[in-house]
Amino acid sequence: MTRLADKVAFITGAGSGIGRASALRMAEEGASVMCTDIDGDAARATSLVIQQSGGKAEGESLNVTDSDAVKAMLKQTESVLGQLDVVFNNAGIAGAGDWDATISVNLTGVRNGCLHSAPMLAASGGGSIINTASVAGLNGLVGIRGEITLEELAAGAGAYVASEHGVVGLTRQFAVSFGRFNVRVNAIAPGYIETPMTAEAREIPGAMDFLASLHPMDRLGQPEEIAAAAAFLASDDASFVNGVILPVDGGYTAR
Ligand SMILES: NC(=O)c1ccc[n+]([C@@H]2O[C@H](COP(=O)([O-])OP(=O)(O)OC[C@H]3O[C@@H](n4cnc5c(N)ncnc54)[C@H](O)[C@@H]3O)[C@@H](O)[C@H]2O)c1
C-alpha cells in the first residue's frame, strides 16, 4: 500500500511499542517519518530500520513535556523532510504513582503537539493529527492486583485515567476548532497492548488471563494493530473522519 506516499509524518514515542510500530507502518505505506522519543537512541534505531529498508526517516531526541522543544522539532521536521502532513502524539507513560509526571507527559505532551502542529497544518492546507488515548480515556480501570486502592486513585491509576480522559477532550476540542481548516484530529483508544509499557503488569501471576478476559476477543493486542489504525487515520481514506475516538481494543469498551 502506498496510501501515505508523499506525506511526512511526525511521531512521538517512536522508539518503542506503538510509536515504533506506527513509524514502521507509515514508512511502509510511503511516508517519510520524523521519529522522536525522549530516548534519542531508540528514536534513531527506529529511523535506521526505516532507512535500511529503503525508506526516508530521521530520528531525534524530544521530550514532549517541553513545549518549546516540541514546536522547534515540528519546524525542524518541515525543514528537514520538506513538509508536515501527519502528527502522531503518541508518547506516554504508565505513571508509576506520580500524578504530576503522568499528567505532564500524557496530557500536556499531547496538548503541546496539538497546539503547535494544528496551526502549521492549517497554514499548509490541512493534515491529520492523531493522539494516543486509551480505553482508560473512556472508562475507569479495574485493578490487576484486586481493588484499586485510594493511594492508586490519588496518583497511579487515577492520574492515568484522568490524563487519558483529558486526551479525549483535547482531541474533540481541536477537531472542532480546526476542522474548517482541513485539519482532522482524532484519537486511538487502545486496549491492553503487548508493549514494554505493559511488560511488568503482564508478569504478575495470572495477569495475562485476567487482562485477556477484559477484552471480548480474549487476548491482548499487538502494537502493529494500533499502527494499522494510525495509518488509516493518517491517510486520505479517513478524509471525513474528524473528532473520533477510535477504540482498538478487541471489544473492551463494548461492555
Ligand atoms: N500498551 C498499552 O497497553 C497501552 C494501552 C492504551 C494506551 N497506551 C498508550 O500508548 C502510548 C504508547 O505506549 P506504548 O505501549 O507503546 O509504551 P512504550 O513504553 O513501549 O513506549 C512509549 C515511548 O514513549 C517514550 N516517552 C516516555 N516519556 C516521554 C516523553 N516525556 N517525551 C517523549 N517520549 C517519551 C518512551 O521513551 C517510549 O519509547 C502511550 O501514550 C500509552 O499511554 C498504551
User: Which grid coordinates are listed for 106?
Assistant: 500524557
pLDDT of 16-36, one tens digit each? 999 999 999 999 999 999 999
CA of 139 to the centre of ligand 1 (A): 19
CA of 93 to the centre of ligand 1 (A): 5
Residues 51-72, mean pLDDT to the nearest whole number: 98
Residues 85-107, mean pLDDT to the nearest whole number: 96
Residues 162-188, mean pLDDT to the nearest whole number: 99
Q: How many Å apart are CA 140 and CA 136, to the nearest integer? A: 6
Q: Which among 160, 178, 232, 252 is annotated as catalytic?
A: 160
pLDDT of 193-204, one tens digit each? 999 999 999 999
Q: How many Å apart are CA 96 and CA 118, to the nearest integer? A: 31
Residue 125: which of 64, 95, 83 has the closest Cα? 83
- Statement: residue 1 has pLDDT above 80: no
pLDDT bin (cut points 50, 70, 90) of residue 62 is very high
- Statement: residue 117 has pLDDT above 90: yes
To the nearest whole percent, how much of the chain has pLDDT over 70? 100
Whether the model clears a pTM of 0.85, i.e. scores above it, the answer is: yes
Residues 112-131, mean pLDDT to the nearest whole number: 98
The domains located in the chain, with CATH, are 8-254 (3.40.50.720)
pLDDT of 99-112, one tens digit each? 999 999 999 999 99
Q: How many Å apart are CA 177 and CA 117, to the nearest integer? A: 13
Residue nearest to atom 43 of ligand 1 (CA): 92
11 Cβ contact list (under 8 Å, min separation 6): 19, 22, 23, 26, 33, 34, 35, 36, 88, 90
CA of 92 to the centre of ligand 1 (A): 4
Give pLDDT, residue 189: 99
CA-based Rg of the chain, rounded to a whole angstrom?
Answer: 17
String of DSSP letters for 182-204: TEEEEEEEE-SB-SGGGHHHHHS
